[in-house]
Structure 1
Amino acid sequence: MSDNNRVYNVLIVGVGGQGIILASDVLGRVAAAYGYDVKKNEIHGMAQRGGSVSSHVRFGKTVSSPIIRVGEADVLLSFEQLETVRYFPFLSEKGKVILNDQKILPPAVFTGKQEYPSDVIQKIKAKVPDMVVVDGISVAERLGNPRVVNVIFLGVLSKYLDIPVEVYEKVLRESLKPKLVDINLKAFHEGRSLAS
């Protein structure tokens, strides 16, 4: 994606507790640091942990609204499989899906009212053949900190946006507590290496 006059639409989705808000905050700061006008909007689910969370991040030369409309997302960055299905209608025809291969069962599945679909990835892949799927939890555990999944996915995302890597590094250094900077920079670069 590289066109100075267009607006980029990144929809980040998942469930509470996955770090979606931090990821969208960092992305917004990165885009602003690079000189873009940035608008953001977040929708939190009913529960702080486990409820659906989405964050709309729009940036470009001039952005009038923080809301991504159905069919307009350039990237659907999803931290949970079922949330990918829920927000898939927002993806544009040429949009990119970056998916964390994780299932977090919603309450309706626990109570037996619903079944968790077994073929989410296959269904999405049928519509978006070049989607990127990463087992974020496994990668984060290999790095030694299961809480850096969101930054791993920022790294993956960064490969598809026209913003220099140095801007992400600077914003991560400025946004995190000093003791967390090294592991998060490592997670970010690991994510970049996993992008196809």
Structure 2
Amino acid sequence: MGDLPLEVENLNAGYEGKAKVRRLDFQLKEGEIVGLIGLNGAGKSTTMKTILGLLPKMGGSIRFWGMTMEEEPLQVKRRIAYIPEMPLLYDELTLWEHLQWVAMAYGLDQAAFEARVGPLLTQFRMEGVKHHFPSSFSKGMRQKVMVLFAFLMLPIILVSGIAFFQSLPLYVLPLVWLGGYLFTDRLLIWKLRWM
């Protein structure tokens, strides 16, 4: 695993046949935080979704530790977590059921789930609502749930679609705690809006 965690070379990305991002090059090295800065519509979300394989690239290459998403989708996806700008939750599942579902989807064993979930619920101040349905959560609580999902999986690369200043309260305390405890060698890509 001597390759860089993320290498983006000559990336062209967009949708509906129109490139919003052209000839983008960057690398993400261990321990780095990268922010995508630009006006609304500049291509920040398009770039992130293309890197994650949620949108097809129109050209160029994206490599994770020397692998592409096309070559090794499971190897890559197990090391990455994405926090979308708009929380995606099922109204029929409680927070606890969501957590179990995420753990199962990522192949997290029961012992690891139990060791991680309690401290995370406490850190995010969500232990009192773990058996509640997300329809009762505010937008901020729903975003916190998405962050909680990402941290549950201990990703090596964390990609956040939530704008930095909008999400600062969600991240600062958990990142300080996780920085010393769980995330000492993790990487982060954050979306920043130019105001």
TM-score, normalising length from structure 1? Answer: 0.30
**Which of 1 and 2 has greater Rg?**
2
| Greater helix content | 1
TM-score, normalising length from structure 2? Answer: 0.30
Higher relative contact order (CA 8 A, sep 6+): 2
